[in-house]
Structures are given as structure tokens and as C-alpha cells.
Structure 1
């Protein structure tokens, strides 16, 4: 299996994010991530712009959902995300709602594992239907 290379666009303006994304794509990156700082600064418009400029590229919307799971996942999907992120520490029902929204809107769900017991949290995310379980490496770590 070929590894997937993803760049996290943890920037605060869409112009810089688009320039960085174009450079990353030329360098061989497979997936683009609308990072949390970019989504906070630009809203879901950043996902729309990434989709417009990179129509065939998987786009991860890293909103780090903790609540309002269905609504947030649906919004990200409608903006053009192919993948959405829910946190492992979210309530079980929130994770289920994100997974259901993913199924309803054709996006895959990444469970971001930020837990003390990484093994049991990964199993929980898998059992709840996440398509991917990712190991969280914090910005501040």
C-alpha cells in the first residue's frame, strides 16, 4: 500500500493557503487539509476555495468536531470536503452523528485520537464507524 502524504494548511489566510497548496501539489502531496486555524480565520469558504482550485484532490476539513456532529459534518461536506475530522474525546453520540453525516453526504470520517489510552480509543473510533483513526500530534507538542 502506497502511503498518503497530506499537508496541513495551518495558516490564517486563504491566499497563502492556496499558494502553499499549489506548491505542495507540485511536490507530490496527495491530500490537502484545511487546518483548524484556516477554518477559524476564513470559515468554510476556505474549503470551497480549496475545492474550486483543486477539484480532484481529497480535502480534509479539520474542524475537530466535539459537538453538533451531524450539522458540522454536513456543512463541511457541502463546502467540498471529502474528509471530516471528529475528536476521540467527543461524546459517543456525536461521533455517531458525524459518521452518519459522512454516509449521507459521501465523505469519509477521520477519528482524531487524542486520548490517554490510545489503543482503546482507537478501537472505540473504529467500532463507532470512523473510516480512519489518526494519531493526534498537537500543534503545541
Structure 2
């Protein structure tokens, strides 16, 4: 065979494979889902379990509604709120947790947190700040 015929045959075969090859497109979908319904908010680390009363300070609430932490956070830029990390399971807390969907008890409403003393600040995105007492 002549080199031109070999080149032509190779070109036809390569073109056939190029036309027949399926196109691939990168498909990335991130579905975080809705924030869990927790009476006093939730921990800002996965699996975002409900946090007990007293974990978050009053600045985490707007008109009595938890403004969020973790991927659902909707607070202002440069937000830092106080937490009492003694109520975090990674710091040894083994007490009761509210169930998802449970309502806050009236005696534990956010308006009754005048004795709250956080020992840490957090930005709601997993970053802890300095200790505060």
C-alpha cells in the first residue's frame, strides 16, 4: 500500500471513532437539603445533630428563631456568636438532646437566657474564635 492510502485509511478510522464517541459532561450536584428542625439549633458540624438548650447564645436567634449554622447559616457577614462548647459531644457532653421537630420548652425560650455564659465564639461555618467568659 502506498503511504497516502495508509494515511487516508487511518484518518477515516480515527474520524469514525471520534464521531461515535459519546460526549461527556461534568455533572456536579450538591443538595444540602433543608436545615433540621431543632428547637435550639444544631451543631455546626456533620451530622448536624440538634444542640441542647444553652449551647448557643441569644445572638444566634432573631425574634426567637434560630438563624442557623453549618451550610444553612444565614447570618450577617463577619458574624461571631457565643457558644458554650461544654454542651458539645466532642467536648464530652453526654446529656439529653432534643429530638428533631421537638418544640422548645417555654422555660427554655431564648428570651430567658440572661445567665448564658459562652466560652467560645463561632462564625457558624465551623470556625471557632477565642474563648470568652
Common fold by TM > 0.5: no
TM-score under structure 2 length normalisation: 0.22
Q: Which has the higher strand share?
A: 1
- Structure having the larger proportion of residues in helix: 1
Q: Normalising by structure 1, what TM-score?
A: 0.21
